[in-house]
Amino acid sequence: ILISTTEQGISRKLNSFKSQFKKAKNNKISIKIAAPITKQNINLIKKLSSDVLVKNVDNNARFCIIDGKEMLIMLSHDKDIHPDYDSGVWINAPNFASHLENSFNSRFDKGK
C-alpha cells in the first residue's frame, strides 16, 4: 500500500487507520507513506513508525495505490475542503497505477 498525502492528511490517516495499519503489518502487508513531516505531526509518526514506513516528502498529492493495480485519487487539496466533504475516485487501472507507483517510489526513495 502506497499513500501520498499532505501535512494535514498524514495526521488524519495515522489517527483514523492506526488499527488497520497494525493489522496490515501483522498480515505482512507493507505500507509506505510519503508526506511532509513537521513539528506538528512528528510525534504521531514516531508512535506508528513500527507499523508504517513514513518518509518526509514535500508533497501535495493525495492518492493511494493498492498492489500496483488499483488506486484512490482525491479530487481536492485538503486545505480547500473540510474532511467530512472530501471526495475521491477509486480506479482499477493496473497500467496507470503502475506508472503512478513508479513516480511515487522515485520521490519516496529520495525522501528522508
Q: How many CB atoms lie within 10 A of CB 23?
A: 12
CA distances from 36 to 14, 28, 29, 58, 69 (A): 13, 25, 23, 5, 25
Averaged pLDDT for residues 10-37: 90
Contact 6, 36 (CB under 8 A): yes
Which of the two residues, 68 and 14, has the higher pLDDT score? 68
User: Is 104 strand, coil or helix?
Assistant: helix
Per-residue pLDDT tens over the stretch 30-72: 999 999 999 988 888 887 778 889 999 987 889 999 999 999 9
d(CA 59, CA 37): 10
Which pTM was predicted?
Answer: 0.88
